[in-house]
Amino acid sequence: MTEENYMERAIELAKRGRGYVNPNPLVGAVIVKDGRIIGEGYHAKYGDLHAERDALKNVTESPEGATIYVTLEPCCHHGKQPPCTDAIIESGIKRVVIGSADPNPVVNGHGVKILRDAGIEVIEGFMKKECDALNPVFMHYITTGRPYVMMKYAMTADGKIAAKTGASRYVSGEESRYEVQKLRHELKGIMVGIGTVLMDDPKLTCRIEGGINPVRIVCDSRLRTPSVSYIAETASEIPTIILSAVRELKTGEITEEDVKTSGSETAIRGERLLQKGVRIFNYPLKDEARVDLHEAMKALGKAGIDGILLEGGGTLNESMLREGLVQEIRMFLSPKIFGGKAKTPVEGIGVEDPKDAQLFTWKDVQIVGKDLMVTAVPQEGDTCLQES
């Protein structure tokens, strides 16, 4: 086996932690001695052993003199687990091959330095591109403090997300819908606009075996989410956050006391929702009765939401794109034509001229059943997180 094979194996192992480790990164590690793999490990769950310690725990013989292949720079700080650099030094490992640098300022470069100072040979940036691709969410969250937003939609070949009647079950095939369920498991949050809640009364849950429900987030300026909606009725079991824009209430998270003090019609609706177990984050825009999406993203980041699957509708999608808050588009393209005046994934007023378009770059395309799953990312320099 080659060095590439060992790192590929570490990458495969890292993927097993998907959905369970957030807001930590996915990390895999393989320990090799005399041309044989003697230990493998990965970060399996938030709070559990890091990949390097897991691999060391699993070794079949002494790791003295061995090489460890690890997809991310070993940590050197005390978090939920003690530093991995200590474990590597104590184990007698003599060579460390690292994929991605850790963008976390408390680790970046320090992990490598500690290992080198201990006399260990360190190779950095080995298969960096492949290792970086494991953790776009972590890389974005740790450097900005805000969630990575993946906008997802299913669309026909003529660009429609529903028939002219509004019926949208189903645009894409079963295999595509399963992929979406996997994304709901992998990303910590899922977000929709109130238009979608009022129209569809969605569940926004993860319905695959062993899957974890995302935190449901509804962008709802005036707290119109019905207290009898599925989302409200299940909020005591499945974490649910409403982003509101109610001027008479304070900015930030709203408590029952806040809504009682106000006593307005909107506040009364808020009280009913709070009693159901919903959390309300109130961030009105200065000049508009709509949610300040930048402030809301900051607050969600602080609440530990590192990634969001944005599932529409078109009005919210347009706002999120216009504000530069979307890091990835995941499109399921179905070989069907609906025709007529039907909804598209992005509404709003649109640009006047093609030259004013927001620009994206295709990143990946895969065949999923009869559909295509296409990934696009903002073109470098065109849109990225804008500071507010």
Ligand X SMILES: NC(=O)c1ccc[n+]([C@@H]2O[C@H](COP(=O)([O-])OP(=O)(O)OC[C@H]3O[C@@H](n4cnc5c(N)ncnc54)[C@H](OP(=O)(O)O)[C@@H]3O)[C@@H](O)[C@H]2O)c1
* Separation of alpha carbons 367 and 388, rounded Å: 39
Among 314, 321, 324, 330, binds ligand X (CB under 6 A): 314
Q: How far is the CB of 253 from ligand X (least distance, A)?
A: 17
Query: For residue 253, which of 277, 271, 279, 289 has the smallest C-alpha distance?
Result: 279
Residue with tokens 């507010």: 388
Smallest separation, CB 189 to ligand X (Å)? 15
Q: Applying CB under 6 A, does 175 fall inside the site for ligand X?
A: no
Sign of the torsion angle spanned by Cα atoms 63, 67, 72, 74: positive
Interface stretch with ligand X, choices 101-109, 217-225, 302-310, 373-381 (CB under 6 A): 217-225
196 touches ligand X by CB under 6 A: yes
Which stretch, 15-23, 164-172, 333-341, 369-377, contacts ligand X (CB under 6 A)? 164-172
Among positions 193, 214, 239, 301, the unique one binding ligand X when judged by CB under 6 A: 193
Using rule CB under 6 A, residue 181 touches ligand X: no
Nearest Cα to Cα of residue 93 among 137, 48, 123: 123
Q: Report the alpha-carbon distance of residue 191 to residue 146 in Å, rounded.
A: 14
Put the strands of the sheet holding 371-378 in their side by side order.
Answer: 252-254, 279-282, 240-244, 215-219, 189-193, 307-310, 148-156, 328-334, 371-378, 360-368
Does 269 bind ligand X (CB under 6 A)? Our answer is no
Q: Which of 4, 8, 12, 52 is catalytic?
A: 52
Nearer to ligand X, 156 or 327 (CB): 156
Least distance from C-beta 268 to ligand X, angstroms?
Answer: 17
- Binding flag, residue 179, ligand X (CB under 6 A): no
Q: What is the Cα–Cα distance from 142 to 377, expressed in whole angstroms?
A: 19
Q: How far apart are the C-alpha atoms of 91 and 39, rounded to whole Å?
A: 12
- Which residue's CB is nearer to ligand X, number 54 or number 311? 311
CB 162 within 8 A of CB 342: yes
Residue corresponding to tokens 């649109």:
350
**Cβ-based nearer residue to ligand X, 74 or 193:** 193
Q: How far is the CB of 246 from ligand X (least distance, A)?
A: 10
SS3 373: strand
Instruction: Verify whether residue 52 is a known catalytic residue.
Output: yes
Among 189, 312, 324, 378, indicate the residue that binds ligand X (CB under 6 A).
312
Work out whether 241 is an interface residue with ligand X (CB under 6 A). no
159 binds ligand X (CB under 6 A): no
Identify the residue among 215, 219, 246, 373 touching ligand X (CB under 6 A): 219
Which residues lie closer than 8 Å to 213 by C-beta, 6 or more apart? 184, 205, 206, 238, 239
Q: Does residue 168 interact with ligand X by CB under 6 A? A: yes
Q: Is 315 in the site for ligand X (CB under 6 A)?
A: yes
Residues 341-360: b if buried by 16+ CB within 10 A, e if exposed: ebbbbbbeeeeeeeeeeeeb
Residue 181, Cβ density class (10 Å: 0-12 exposed, 13-18 middle, ≥19 buried): middle
Per-residue binder mask for ligand X (CB under 6 A), 116-155, x = binder: -------------------------------------xx-
If the CB atoms of residues 147 and 313 are measured against ligand X, the closer one turns out to be 313
Window contacting ligand X (CB under 6 A); options: 91-99, 213-221, 299-307, 358-366: 213-221
* Dist. CA 152–CA 280, nearest whole Å: 24
The radius of gyration of the chain's CA atoms, rounded to the nearest angstrom, is 23
Binding site residues, ligand X, CB under 6 A: 153-154, 161-162, 166, 168, 171, 192-196, 199-200, 219-222, 224, 290-291, 293, 311-316, 319, 343, 347
Give the active site residues. 52
